[in-house]
Amino acid sequence: MDRPEVAGAFLTGSVTALAPDAELPATSDVDVVVVLRNGPAVPAKPGKLRCDGVLLEVTELPWSEVADPAVVARTHYLAPSFAGDHVLADPTGHLARLRTEIAPSFAAPEAVQARCEDVLIRMVTRSAALDPAAPWHEQVLTWLFPATLPTQVPLVAALRPPTVRRRFVAAREVLAEHGQLELYGSLVDLVDAGGRDGSAVQHHLDQLEPVLDQVASVARTPFPFSADLTPDARPVTVQGSRELVAAGDHREAVFWVVATWGRCLTVLTTDAPSLVVSRAAQRFREVTADLLGVSTPAALAARRDAALALVPAVRAAGERIIDVRQVRAQARPEVGRSG
């Protein structure tokens, strides 16, 4: 922390929910956010780094993103970092102030609802960027991430940290606990509408590995996700998906397999020879047709509209989870006294 522009650092993501003595899975990394003062509006993303055998995912954040405690408190992916002891460095004292202001009301229903709404607002806003004239991989990625954001609402409502690669598995766990698996079926259908079996997902995952090798050999242009495509990231990117398939969660693996394929094509389109790009683009069309069940901009737009149509149901599910959590929280002291 000898860089003068560094104003602090904190943990984020799934690691914030781990017990202090829990072992970090080999297919997980540790997300670290470094706050920059007087840095660029869009800082660089150092990406994945090895430190004492642990794979770190380092993201830089401008000071403006954490300046206002009220904004941080209702931002679904930032607030959990200040609900507990997750600050790593705080030379200005500002991150401690964020925790002081956010932690006491973090679980309050109105605060949780605000964070759930933050998820849905981002989903609707980002879905509007879908451009039928863009290259196919750009269309798919522009649709894929917002369309799967509703999986975060059950997690936020249940006070669990948002997650990326395992978002469907995590959402299913919460919805199952609250008797809402019917909604989960609608969410996973948005991605895995083809209902392909595990062997199909495994096939496209196997084909992805040599493409990742190509990316590693030609990548020159930095992208926010570049670190996810490096050899160091294979335990997370590939092995983590293999474990999902092996566990019978192949439908839940489709999201990350398609996302990684699309990101590979983004890099190849920029840095690779045209013949390599052409072959990879054809393979990616096969992936989306086989796993997603979409092959045209019109079909993708219809899938986007289906996701948007689920917003009221997702919002209602989040509200029910918040209500149940409140009832349980209020009952705990009574249980303790009666015992």
C-alpha span between 28 and 280 (Å, rounded): 27
pLDDT one-digit tens code per residue, 123-169: 999 999 999 999 999 999 999 999 999 999 999 999 999 988 899 99
pLDDT values of the chain reduced to their tens digit, one per residue, 339 residues? 456 688 999 999 888 888 777 787 777 788 899 999 876 655 566 767 777 778 888 889 999 999 999 999 999 999 999 999 999 999 999 999 999 999 999 999 999 999 999 999 999 999 999 999 999 999 999 999 999 999 999 999 999 999 888 999 999 999 999 999 999 999 999 898 667 789 999 999 999 999 999 999 999 999 989 988 988 888 888 998 999 999 999 999 999 999 999 999 999 999 999 999 999 999 999 999 999 999 999 999 999 999 999 999 999 999 999 999 888 888 875 444 433
> What single-letter DSSP state applies at residue 339?
-
The contacts found for 122-126 with CB under 8 angstroms, 24 or more apart, are 122/146, 122/149, 123/147, 123/149, 123/150, 123/307, 123/308, 123/311, 124/308, 124/311
Question: Which amino acid would we find at residue 23?
Answer: E
| Domains in the chain: boundaries | 6-105, 109-309
Dist. CA 141–CA 102, nearest whole Å? 33
Q: What is the pairing mode between strands 6-12 and 30-36? A: antiparallel
Backbone angles phi, psi at 291, to 5 degrees: -90, -40
Residues 6 or more apart whose Cβ sits within 8 Å of residue 43: 36, 60, 61, 62
Q: What topology is assigned to 6-105 in CATH? A: Beta Polymerase; domain 2 (3.30.460)
- pLDDT tens digit sequence for 187-225: 999 898 667 789 999 999 999 999 999 999 999 999 989
- How many other CB atoms are found less than 10 A from the CB of residue 62? 17
**Quick one: pLDDT at residue 336?**
42
